[in-house]
Structure formats: structure tokens, C-alpha cells
Copies of this chain bind each other. A is one copy, B any other.
């Protein structure tokens, strides 16, 4: 079914308001969660909204808490998220990184003690909307074995790179350090499909593309095998060091749920150094070259990162946002 963007925002706002969220908190959280679905990232939009409310109800999220700057040093700030709303903390941190970039050309905000930011790409789009190159990442609970290990020791630590274009069709990479999310593996299982490439291990310790087998072990593969595993460790260390927050391993030891996370937000004011004509031209030439690839199959379409999000956004703004009926019904009951 399709739900109008404005209806979705209003519905979320009402539910959050009933949970005691102040008007500014309710409206902006509602907008960010609706935007995630609007761009087609349903797993961190409507599908996740009930769990967000559950976390508020269980006290994991302090709904009206505001992040606080603990340390300010030139182009860098360290913030404490006070376990407030993850999406608002992340948004405020990237806003501040953009502000710092307008003063210093570069801004970095490290945010500790925060909650799940839902869709990392949102903060990449945000930086790019402000004309900045955006780079950000978060750590997570231990949810993946390190390369060479059996048990979950590292996080899938989503990592975002965003490159602005003046017309808003930004190039945005939003990638977790696992090859597939648990949601994707479940989706494949429900559809009776194999994954397109190996996504984890079976009970015999062999790599497999069969979601049923992977769900038996829950041993998912890091993206790029040892590479994603290494990158996950480094991203976790940098986020925890800069924010003086918790590492993935500490989050796992301390909490049973995923909260108390560490994140980094980088904004680089590239619009201060380049004309829109130069940067748009450069980006367009790379995209055209990419799309000029000889495709592996006649019906293969080569897309640049972020292309689908933008296309889906325009389509759903016009025709309403795709929602699984059971999910929407559940949301209406919150």
C-alpha cells in the first residue's frame, strides 16, 4: 500500500507526541524516519519505526535529551549524545560539522553515548545538501565474527561517503561492513531465494549463499572478507577514541540492546573551493563514463551510488510511500 509523505510524517509525529516527545523532537524525528522510507530504505524507515517506539517505551532512548558539546578545539568537537534520539543526535552532529566547515573548511564532530542513527545515508545527504563532502560512520553492537573467528566480536559499522551536486542528485555511498544485513538475509529466505553472492557460513563452516543455512549459524560474512573485518575494527576504534565513547566490544559487554554508540561526522566544504560548474561537470563526466561501461548482460543497468534513492524519492513523493500493510497497521496501533 501507499501512504502519502505528509500523512506518514503526521502519523509518526502524533505517536511520538503521545510518548512525551517535545514538538521539535516529534516533528524532526518523524520527518527523518519518513524520509528514510521515502528514499526506499524501508528497513530503517517504516519497518523500523515500531522498534524505535519500543526503545522509547523501554527507556533505552531518552526522548527529549539534547546532545552536549564536551570539548571544542578548532575544527573538531566531541559531543555526548546523552542517550537521546539517535536520528536527532546524528542530525545535530552533522549540522554542527557543516557549520565548523563553513568556518574552518573542515568540521568533525565525534558523538558518543548516542542511539541508533537508523539510515546512515541520511546524514550523507544532509551534508551534501549543504554543499559539503560528507563522511560519517557509526559503530554497532557486536553482530559479526571477525575474519578467522566464529563468534560475533565486531560491528557491521555502516560507513557513508557523500559527494554534493548542485541539483541535489548527490552521489552517496551507504555501506555496512557486512556483505548483507540480517534484514536482507531474512528477506531472501522469505522469498525462497538465494543471495546473489555468499553471505555467511553454514553449519559445516562452508561459505554459502543460502539464507536458510546462514540463519542457522548467524555467522555473516564481512564485506570483502578480511577487508571489511579490518575496516570495521578501525572505524570502531576511531569513533570510540574521538568521542571518548564505547567501543563495539564495550557496547556488547554493557548492554543487551544496541545503544550507547559512538559515531563520527566529517564535513568538508568543497563548495567553498569549487564552482558548481566545475564540480557538477566533473561528477557528471565520471557518471557518464561509468554508465558507458559494456554491461555484463543486455538488461544490466549500471547505477551510480545514490541514484536509486533519488529516483525512488521523486516517485514516492508523487505517488505515496510504499509500506507493507501489516507494518502500517502495527504503526497505527502504537
Contacts and interface: CB of A to CB of B under 8 A. Distances in A.
Interface of A: 71, 73-76, 78, 103-108, 133, 145-151, 153-154, 161-163, 171-173, 175, 179, 196-197, 205, 207, 223-225, 227-228, 230-231, 233-238, 240-242, 244, 247-250, 266, 268-270, 272-274, 278-279, 282-283, 285-286, 289-290, 292-296, 300-305
10 contacts: A76-B106, A145-B293, A149-B300, A151-B293, A175-B224, A234-B305, A237-B283, A241-B282, A249-B285, A250-B285
Contacts of A295: 148-150
Nearest to A242: B270
Contacts of A74: 75, 103-106
A147 B297 CA distance: 12
Given A148-B296, A273-B78, A73 B234 contact: no
B290 A233 contact: yes
Contact of A149 (B162, B179, B237, B294): B294
DSSP majority for the A interface?
Answer: mixed
Contact of A104 (B71, B104, B163, B269): B104
Nearest to A145: B293
Contact of A150 (B78, B104, B293): B293
Contacts of A289: 153, 249
Residue from A147, A242, A268, A283 whose CB has the most chain B CB atoms within 10 Å: A268
Nearest to A176: B227
A244 B274 contact: yes
Given A150-B295, A289-B153, A197 B175 contact: no
Given A73-B105, A305-B233, A241 B148 contact: no
A131 to B, nearest CB: 11
B149 A241 contact: no
A114 to B, nearest CB: 17
